Amino acid sequence: MKRRQRFRIYVVTLLIIIPVFVSGCWDSHELNKLSIVSGLGWDINTDTGEVTLTFQSIIPSEIKSSSSSGGGGEEKGGNPLHAIRLDSSTGSSAYDALNRYTQHGSRRTFYRHAQVYVFGKGGAQQGLYPVLDSIARNPINRPNVLMVVAEKKAGDILGIQDGIENIQAIGMAAEIKLSADFSKYPAVTCLEFANRLLSETTAPIAPMIGTFEDIGPEGEKVKKTRITGTAVFKGDRMIGQLNERESRGLLWAINKIKEGFVIIPGANLEIIQAKSKIVPELQDDQIKITIEINEESNLLEYDGHREMTTDLLQELENIQAQEIESQVRGAVEKSRALNADVFGFGDAVHRKYKKEWQGLKPRWDEIYPHIEVVVKVKTHVNEIGDINKTLMRD
């Protein structure tokens, strides 16, 4: 009985003491004392080496007033960027620019809501090691933040409102993710980029974003952003880019196809699922890479005159397989031209042939453009819709 009573006293004591230590938000921050960064841009002056940081910060009071406004959807002052603020800081290095901004600002910078890091093309071509090192060593580091390369300057991209989001960086991140979901371009986080950078052979990649002019609802010219390609790096330097078709071919090969469409003559098919793997073979110091792809799809459109028979379905599957193979081969040829192993062939060889890899690694740049690549694609059309007869007549 005494033992049970002591146990009860012990539990009650803990219940009294624990709240003393856990009550309150010890790491809380007052919103009116913070500059909440939603997007960061880096531009490097190729002549002087100076780094300009562009900070896209959220204005919480404006978001609140915008969300509580009437159904008319009018924005304060007619400015679509009223919920964010753009600031910039220039220094001799990325850290110097960051330090100048944080020390001379009126609010403490808060990076936990950062959505995207934008790197100007000029700086990406010059080399991102200094910038990436600064990111990794400072509080701004968030490994899951999306990374994108601007066709021109990062600062210009962060100042363009596109989409329905008040916070432009959130809209840009959603645009990057959506393009990856529909298997057009890769979505790459800083951690994924760093992992490729640390690889002995695999070339880093990142989506590219550009601007174009569109016509607004009242006939005015409006600037918008769009994902336009995939930047290819050699080490930390951007050396070229893949177009949309080549980017899709890359995604097929590295098992990053999620959903989307395959358009072939006379038909449009929706991708249901796709799996791929890279199989290396080494014989007499000769490397052969086989890319095996298995894809399933549904038929969405057919504008031919033939009835939907087993033979016709087989024909559509074969044409679809040829189209997928063509996309992959386009990516392979571009990567050979750039001599950049965007597929991770070297890592695949390393995993399977650890002993032989020691002799191959120093010569990989010489070996890669001449590797034999075989693409094997199997496709299957699962559903053809509610009709199996064609509605078109000769």
Name which residue leads in pLDDT, 54 or 112. Answer: 54
| Cα 250 from Cα 256, distance rounded (Å) | 8
pLDDT tens digits, 345-370? 999 999 999 999 999 999 999 999 99
Domain ranges of the chain: 31-67+76-242, 244-394
Q: In the beta sheet, which residues pair with residue 388?
A: none
Task: Round to whole Å and give the CA distance between 270 and 265.
Answer: 14
Flag whether pLDDT at 33 surpasses 70.
no
Which CATH number does 244-394 carry? 3.30.300.210
* Cβ atoms of residues 304 and 266 within 8 Å: yes
Tokens found for residue 17? 């003491």
Cβ(188)–Cβ(146) below 8 Å: yes
Please tell me the predicted confidence (pLDDT) of residue 1: 52
Ranges of H-type helices in the chain: 2-22, 60-67, 94-104, 121-126, 129-137, 154-157, 168-181, 190-198, 244-253, 310-338, 345-352, 354-360, 364-367
Give the pLDDT confidence of 230-282 residue by residue, as tens digits: 999 999 999 999 999 999 999 999 999 999 999 999 899 999 999 999 999 99
| Integer angstrom CA distances of residue 43 from 38, 151, 243, 362 | 17, 12, 23, 33
Question: Burial, 268: exposed, middle or buried (Cβ in 10 Å; 0-12, 13-18, 19+)?
Answer: middle
Q: Per mean pLDDT, which of 78-92, 214-228, 369-383 is the most reliable?
A: 369-383
Rounded Cα–Cα distance for residues 104 and 347 (Å): 46
- What pLDDT was estimated at residue 231? 97
* Region 196-224 average pLDDT: 85
What is the helix (H) or strand (E) element at residue 207, kind and residue range?
A: strand 205-215
| Percent of the chain at pLDDT exceeding 90 | 47
Instruction: Tell me what pLDDT residue 161 has.
Output: 72
The model's confidence at residue 10, banded by pLDDT at 50, 70 and 90, is low
260 — alpha (psi -120 to 50), left (phi > 0) or beta?
left
Residue 73: pLDDT above 70? no
Say which residues have a Cβ less than 8 Å from residue 315's Cβ, sequence separation at least 6. Answer: none
* pLDDT band, residue 76 (cuts 50/70/90): very low
pLDDT averaged over the chain?
83
Give 78's pLDDT tier (boundaries 50, 70, 90): very low
